[in-house]
């Protein structure tokens, strides 16, 4: 089980790592004048991530390699912001990540050139189409142009890098404006409501959209992905509300098997809720007992997947004289 502290990252990557979903998103949410230039059948997903380690609780990313219809190479870089409010520096972050993508491209180009023993020549850089996906509660009022971060004399404008990112603010799309095939539509709707108090009311209708997929293995796997995200990421959803929504969505789709599956997810939710509570208590205890030295071992403790071990760590906080002594409990 992955770390439960990054449910939005995991769901975003599981959703968009399906090539069909990524193609569906691009065809529905990029401007037509861009989409018509792309050969969507050539889309390939990269496993690389470019987000700084300290920002991964708030941002997730996916890089796509694609061919244009004229045969030339391009990249599409999607950055998901899953804070409840927009980040004023997102354009600067996007620029940094674009530079990292080009640096990787240059390295690959040079390795290939040396392998083929070609004469040294500068590479032709592929364009990067940056897309920022936002599902926070506050309205996005930040300019999408990088130059908006500057206040310079017009004479100096030529020395300021100029680019903009395409913003997809799903939190302020109406439900009717959220388009696409079922997997994409349900995924975006759940991301839209994940922070909102309306989630319990809307959830049965969202899950009902998945009924047509439940006869296929991929549909059941996707439903499990959705359920796991709800368990880990939806603070405004109670166990009872999730149980009712699952029962309503699954009742006509899977016979006797579905209640068993739903109960398994709810049990997973109980366990993970207990783990979240333990981790929060341990974090506070580490800071009180050992200060910054204690917090240095928190990433190790977050990787523990056994509730009993976490309970032992919590108890050991008050009997251990140092972080190293506490480590002996779980190492």
User: What's the per-residue H, E or C state across the chain?
Assistant: CCCCCCHHHHHHHHHHCCHHHHHHHHHHHCCHHHHCCEEEEEEEECCCCCCCHHHCCCEEEEEEEEEECCCCEEEEEEEEECCCCCCCCHHHHHHHHHHHHHHHHHHHHHHHHHHCCCCCCCCCCCCEEEEEEECCCCCCCCCCEHHHHCCCCHHHHHHCCCCECEEEEHHHCCHHHCCCCHHHHHHHHHHHHCCCCCHHHHHHHHHHHHHHHCCCHHHHHHHHHHHHHHHHHCCCCCHHHHHHHHHHHHCCCCCCHHHHHHHHHHHHHHHHHHHHHHHHHHHHHHHHHHCHHHHCCHHHHHCCCCHHHHHHHHHHCCCCCCHHHHHHHHC
Residues 6 or more apart whose Cβ sits within 8 Å of residue 180: 24, 25, 28, 188
Kindly report the backbone phi and psi dihedral angles of residue 101, in degrees, each rounded to the nearest multiple of 5, phi listed first: -65, -45
Encoded tokens for 228: 């796991």
β partners of residue 129: 76
Encoded tokens for 260: 């068993």
Q: Report which of 66, 69, 78 is spatially closest to residue 33, judged by C-alpha positions.
A: 69
**What pLDDT is recorded for position 268?**
61
pLDDT tens, position by position, 29-45: 999 999 999 999 999 99
* Residue whose pair of structure tokens reads 């995991």 in the numeric block: 10
**What pLDDT is recorded for position 261?**
56
**What pLDDT is recorded for position 245?**
79
**What pLDDT is recorded for position 131?**
97
* Integer-rounded Cα radius of gyration of the chain: 23
Question: What's the rounded Cα separation, in Å, for the pair 299 and 270?
Answer: 22
pLDDT tens, position by position, 284-301: 888 878 888 889 899 899
b/e code 12-21 from CB counts within 10 Å (16+ = b): bbbbbebeeb
Q: Report which of 326, 242, 240, 246 is spatially closest to residue 290, judged by C-alpha positions.
A: 326
Question: What's the rounded Cα separation, in Å, for the pair 5 and 34?
Answer: 35
| Segment-wise mean pLDDT, segments of 10 residues, the chain, 331 residues | 63 92 96 97 91 79 96 96 85 96 93 82 91 92 95 95 96 93 95 92 88 74 83 79 74 51 58 72 83 89 85 85 90 83
**What pLDDT is recorded for position 2?**
37
Question: What's the rounded Cα separation, in Å, for the pair 169 and 197?
Answer: 19
Question: What's the rounded Cα separation, in Å, for the pair 6 and 200?
Answer: 21
């Amino acid at each position: 089980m992955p770390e439960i502290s990054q449910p939005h990252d995991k769901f975003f990557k599981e959703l968009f790592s399906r090539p069909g979903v990524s193609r569906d998103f691009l065809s529905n949410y990029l401007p037509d004048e861009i989409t018509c230039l792309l050969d969507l059948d050539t889309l390939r997903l990269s496993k690389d991530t470019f987000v700084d380690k300290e920002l991964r609780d708030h941002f997730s990313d996916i890089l796509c390699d694609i061919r244009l219809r004229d045969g030339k190479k391009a990249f599409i870089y999607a950055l998901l912001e899953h804070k409840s409010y927009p980040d004023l520096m997102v354009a600067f972050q996007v620029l940094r990540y674009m530079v990292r993508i080009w640096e990787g491209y240059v390295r690959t180009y040079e390795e290939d050139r040396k392998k083929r023993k070609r004469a040294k020549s500068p590479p032709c850089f592929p364009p990067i189409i940056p897309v920022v996906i936002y599902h926070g509660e506050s309205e996005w009022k930040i300019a999408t142009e990088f130059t908006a971060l500057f206040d310079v004399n017009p004479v100096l404008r030529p020395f300021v890098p100029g680019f903009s990112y395409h913003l997809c603010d799903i939190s302020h799309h109406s439900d009717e404006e959220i388009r696409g095939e079922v997997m994409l539509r349900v995924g975006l709707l759940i991301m839209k409501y994940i922070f909102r108090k309306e989630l319990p009311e809307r959830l049965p209708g969202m899950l009902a959209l998945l009924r047509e997929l439940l006869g296929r293995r991929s549909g059941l796997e996707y439903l499990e992905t959705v359920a796991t995200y709800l368990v880990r990421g939806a603070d405004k959803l109670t166990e009872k509300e999730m149980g009712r929504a699952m029962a309503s969505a699954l009742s006509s789709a899977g016979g006797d098997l579905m209640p068993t599956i739903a109960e398994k997810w709810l049990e997973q939710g109980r366990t993970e809720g207990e783990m979240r509570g333990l981790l929060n208590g341990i974090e506070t205890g580490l800071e009180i007992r050992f200060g910054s030295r204690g917090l240095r071992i928190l990433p190790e403790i977050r990787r523990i997947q056994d509730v009993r071990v976490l309970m032992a760590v919590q108890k050991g906080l008050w009997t251990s004289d140092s972080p190293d002594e506490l480590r002996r409990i779980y190492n």
